[in-house]
Structure 1
Amino acid sequence: MLSAELYFSFRSPYSYLAIGRYRALMESHTVDIALRPVWPLAVREPDFFERNHPNWLGYTMRDMIRVAQFHGIPFGAPRPDPIVQDVSTRRIAAEQPFIERITRLGQAAARRGKGVAFAHEAGQLIWGGAENWHEGDHLAGAAQRVGLDLDALDSEIESEADALDAEIAANQHALEDAGHWGVPTLVFDGEPFFGQDRIEMVKWRMEQKGLEQR
């Protein structure tokens, strides 16, 4: 059985556009992909959006929409955005309750070997058009669909927040040690593949190492 690590942010649209396809690869072929959640750029570098090129946001929005259309992936603006941010100034708020909870939930799911499946289910809520994805039974349903219990996960992220945060920070360090810094990045056999457009190349490389259909 081959193995790989997928570095992923719940706020990254490209991470969402990749996660379902990586989940499908893992289910159809002899590879185990471990989710490695990281904090989004908005948390790691709060001034990133303020200092970026003016064309960056417009192009990125256009591109993510067409990628979703090309692959037939449901896509819409998150409601609410996992990051609390002033839209007019792009300034990031100091308190970030949504991204903290969902990233810690992702790490707790990863502890159980179900990180990729949970991230895909949760990502479909965040980016697939669900309104108030953080409320009601949305996340409970996402957890249940992959064999997890949201109450148990919430209890864990409350009692072990510091430990989970340390694991998330270690994921970022591991990503940088592997040769990249952004997400989604899949690391296989020490080789990083950055972007949602590298999945076919990842599969090609894995086939060279013995990847087979299940």
Structure 2
Amino acid sequence: MAAKRPRLYFSFRSPYSWLAVERLTRTLGRPQEVLEFIPYWDPDERTEAALRARGGAFHYVQMSKPKHLYLLQDAKRQAQRLDLPMRWPIDIDPWWEVPHLGWLAARERGVGEAFYREVIAARWQRGEDVCTPHVISRVAERAGVDPGLVLGAVEDSTVRSAGVDCLLRAYEEDIFGIPYLRLGPHRFWGVDRVDDFLTAYAERTGTPVAPPAVPAGVGGYDTDTGGGCG
């Protein structure tokens, strides 16, 4: 049996997911060619019901207010260390199926990587609400995919099913926080474990990898997950 590809569970909601992918990009170039990207998000009632019907559940527990306030400061600090512009978005009753199922639809059209970049730019650089139709429509246009296709993903039973597949995999792999990297039996939780993942990846593949120099103290991931950034 062929070995599974290294995989990354990510969330558009999480600043640490964004920062982890940025660090992976600086080392690997195009991490989506190396890793299997799997979205992870707070499911709506429809998705959660389908997930439970298949024997799964959502492991994440919402964070406390003090932890969230800490996250606001820490994520900004880590972005500055990576010399990344950041504007904190304000989420008002977010519907996370919109960007995550939209990404799955875009990936099926071969533009998942471009769509990912545009969602990140909208959310973390411009502070836009990526759960709203007008923002995601512009994101889709910039990524080169039909906005109607992306916006329609939330009502597409095939895309919905693919989304449940992702969350079921997360459940079966005991994913409880984001970013979460898997390499064979090895697990790496949090942005501060990216360098450890890169070292293990280099040892496994025989590919020289020089992790980017990032000061110690980059946020550990008890501070956020796919459901943790409100």
Per the normalisation by structure 2, the TM-score is 0.67
What's the CA shift for 1:128? 1.1
Aligned residue pairs, count: 192
Runs ≥4 in structure 1, deviation > 4 angstroms?
28-31, 41-45, 130-134
Is residue 23–residue 116 contact of structure 1 (8 Å, CA) maintained in 2?
no
Is residue 180–residue 192 contact of structure 1 (8 Å, CA) maintained in 2?
no
Establish whether residue 167 from structure 1 lines up as the match of residue 162 from structure 2.
yes
Residue matched to 1:184: 179
Residue matched to 2:223: none
- For structure 2, the 5+ residue unaligned runs are 49-57, 210-230
- For structure 1, the 5+ residue unaligned runs are 86-95
Establish whether residue 61 from structure 1 lines up as the match of residue 62 from structure 2.
no
Taking the TM superposition and a 5 Å limit, the aligned residue runs for 1:1-214 are 3-27=5-29, 32-40=34-42, 48-49=61-62, 52-79=63-90, 81=91, 84=93, 96=95, 99-112=96-109, 114-131=111-128, 134=132, 135=134, 138-144=138-144, 149-151=145-147, 153-154=149-150, 157=153, 160=156, 162-212=157-207
Show CA shifts across 1:32-83 (max 9, x none): 11221122379877x954xx4442122111111111111112211215x2x5
Per the normalisation by structure 1, the TM-score is 0.72
Show CA shifts across 1:167-209 (max 9, x none): 2222222223334321111212232211122211111000111
Is residue 34–residue 110 contact of structure 1 (8 Å, CA) maintained in 2?
no
Distance 2:197 2:16 in 1: 16
Distance 2:27 2:161 in 1: 29
